[in-house]
Every structure is written in structure tokens, then in C-alpha cells.
Amino acid sequence: MSETGSKRKGSLRELYNIFFSKTWPMWVGGILLGVGNICLFIVLKPWGASGGVKNWGDNLFNLMGGEFSNMGAINLFPYSVLCILLLMGAFAGALFSKQFALRFPPIGELFKGLFGGLLMGLGAVIGVSCTIGGFFSGWPALSLGAVVFTGGLVIGTWLAVKYLLFEVSKFPKLSSGKTTSILSAGKGSWQPILGAVVVLIGLIVAFRYTSTSSVLAWFAAIGLYLGLICQRSRFCIVRALREPFMSGSSAPALAVMAGILVSMFGFVVIKFMGIRGDMIWVWPHFWVPAIVGGTIFGFGMTIAGGCTVGSIWRAGEGHIKLWASIVGMIVAMPFTAKYIKPAFFDALPDSMKQMFFLPEKIGYGPAVGVFVLIMLLSYLFVKWNERTGKFSAY
């Protein structure tokens, strides 16, 4: 090989190592995900995840002869496509970084993944939200219901941390055992090559949609991007809400705040300029559905070890526990939507299930100020708790 060719190969190797030899800081992931969220809103609507997983469940049960929606035998909604490509993006990121392996946990952990997924499915439908749609996108949309939903997430996470500490103390064997891994990367691994193939397939899928639906094409492309960013930065809302009660670390929470602030800047411009409607991503869940659904979802995601998106990108890394979590959501969401949510919502007066868009009450400037102030207070709390450990278990 010539000296020029050798230098070129060395430069490409250096570029590859920058992106895939080390995990990115989570705050970098938060900012990049915020940018992706703005792009989704420009294309159609903000980032959401639970609706896509519910669509998987609806399709599955309809194919089995159920009647969980009127969409026919098979119909992939934009958010369903987004979640599929997010999974592929995370899979590609794990392959490029040689971090993919099928990881089979102890039976107790597998059960917790399934149980946590069932609770997340229940909570997401009752709360009309998940951590992405109701928190990461709900705050930038200036929905006051998103603040209440976040309060429910915090309560559920705190209860789950208390349970997990109790389990470790009283029943240490419940989830103990060996985790078995297969297909781990070896020396001279094939994984990066397969990663390139996965990205190519994802781009082909997105390109094929351009002839029928530009929205689906963009959702597919952006989904691939979101999955890659989540995996490389290990972006995790569960950690953001759990760590103040466990280790006291503020870093995950700050990463999520960074992503929300970036999204908020774009969302406010998009809504204020009339590019998209004011009420987009403002759900009829203020206040009872938000607090009840958020609490159930928060407990479930902490038990499972990942929220809806966290479960999807970790499943892309090969974590079988998170595949069990996804199965739990796929099963629970259609049943909850058909049998539980209607009765629950019918029992509530209209005053307890409102769409509350704060700028409609006080204007855009003050509303943005309120949300930023709440985030500033949250920042001060997690940093204070990191120093003092007042609310941390360790």
C-alpha cells in the first residue's frame, strides 16, 4: 500500500474511532435527540414511542382475529415505522461499536422485564403518554399535563427504587443468577460489517417510502438516526429519574434537560409562527390520567430497566430482558385501550381530563418562563442532592 493510501486508511480509522470506540457523553445525545425531535415536528408531529408499540400490538391481535382497532389486518402508522427504524439504528450502533450480544438474564430479571412492560403498557394508555411523548416532547410542547405526568413518573420511580432495595435486602436470590451472552464481538469482529448492512437496509426502506409517503420516509430516516444516537450516548430517561434516588448522580438528568431545552426552542418557534397547530402534542390528561398513568409507567420502567424507547434501543443491543419488556407493552396496550381506559375516562369529570396548553392561558413568553423556571429548580435540586446525598440510597 502506498504512503498516501496508508494515511487515508489511518484517517478513516481515526474517524471511525471517534464515533464508535467510546460511548458518547449522554448530554451530547440529549442535544442531538432534541434536534431530531424538532425535525420530526417539522415533518409531522413530535417524537413519541408508545403509540408505535401499541400499533404493533393492534396489528398482532388483528392478525390473530381480534378487533382492537378498525384499521384492517395490517397497517403500520408513522410512529410504528419510527420505532422499527429506531430499533434498527440502535442495532447498527451496537454492531459498529462491537457491543452487540444476545444477553439472556436470570429468570427473575426476565420476569421483571415482562412485568415492567405490562405496567408500562397500562400506564402509557391510561396517561395518554410515555416518557418520550409525555415528558421529553410534552414539556417542549408547553403542555401542563406533561408536568403532572412527570410528577407521576417521579413518584413511580421512587416507589420502584424502594421496592428494588427491599428486594435486594430481603429476597436477594429472586433475581440472582448468571447472565449468558452469545454472539459477542471477538477479535477481527464481523459486527461492523453487519452494522453497515443494517444502515443500508434502513436507508433503502426510507427511500422506498418516498414514492408513497414522504412523511413515512422521513420518519424512517429520522428513526434510524434516533436509534443510533440513543445507543451511542446510552440516553436513558429511567436513569435520569432513578439516579437521584440511587447514586445521586445528576448527569443523566442534565442530559435529558439539555434535550428538552433544545426541543423547546424549536417547538416554540414552530407553534408561535403557525407552522404547526398550537394544540399538537397537548393531551387530554390533565390532571388525573397524567398522575395515575405516570405513576404506573414510572414504576414499570424502573422495574424493567428501560422506558419505551430505552427498551427498544437496549433490545437492539441484544438484551433479552428488554425484549420481554417490549412484549409486555405489546400485550398490555391494546387490552388497556379497549377495556380499561374507556371506563376510567368515563368515570372522570371533564375538569380532571383537560387539554391544558399553558400559552393559551398566560401567553407564550410567560409560559416558556414557567417551564424554564421549573427546569431550573429541578437542576438546582439534582445538583444539591448530588452534593448532599439527602435523597440517595448510596
Which are the contacts of 154, defined by CB distance < 8 A and separation ≥ 6? 241, 298
Residue 162 vs residue 2, higher pLDDT: 162
Contact 281, 264 (CB under 8 A): no
Alpha helices in 21-130 (DSSP H): 26-43, 50-63, 78-96, 107-127
Residue 309 is which amino acid? V
Phi, psi of 148 (to 5 degrees): -65, -40
- Rounded to an integer, the average pLDDT of 291-319 is 98
Instruction: Note the pLDDT of residue 210.
Output: 83
pLDDT band with cut points at 50, 70 and 90 for residue 357: very high
pTM summary value: 0.95
pLDDT value, residue 211: 80
What phi and psi values does residue 181 have, to the nearest 5 degrees? -120, 135
4: its cell numbers? 498516501
Q: Which residue has the higher pLDDT, 13 or 254?
A: 254
Q: Would you place residue 150 in the very low, low, confident or very high pLDDT band (cuts 50, 70, 90)?
A: very high
Where helices occur in the chain by DSSP H, the ranges are 3-20, 26-43, 50-63, 78-96, 107-127, 144-170, 191-209, 214-233, 237-242, 251-272, 288-304, 308-317, 320-335, 341-346, 358-362, 364-388
pLDDT at residue 80 tops 90: yes
Give 198-247 pLDDT, tens digit per residue: 999 999 999 988 888 899 999 999 999 999 999 999 999 999 999 999 99
Give the pLDDT band of residue 62 (cuts 50, 70, 90): confident
Distance (Å, rounded) from C-alpha 297 to C-alpha 109? 18
Question: Which is it for strands 180-182 and 284-287: parallel, antiparallel or unpaired?
Answer: unpaired
Distance of CA 35 to the CA centre of its chain: 15
* Interval 51-74 mean pLDDT: 79
Count of Cβ atoms closer than 10 Å to residue 62 Cβ: 19
CB 104 within 8 A of CB 320: yes
Per DSSP, what are the bridge partners of residue 104? 180
Average pLDDT over residues 358-382: 97
pLDDT of residue 70 exceeding 70, the answer is no
Confidence band for 63, pLDDT divided at 50, 70 and 90: confident
Give the model's pLDDT for residue 381.
Answer: 97
Res. 74: pLDDT tops 90: no
Q: What is the pLDDT of residue 65?
A: 76
Residue matched to cell numbers 398550537: 278
CA–centroid distance for 342 within its chain: 25
Mean pLDDT of all residues in the chain? 94
The mean pLDDT value for 81-106 works out to 97
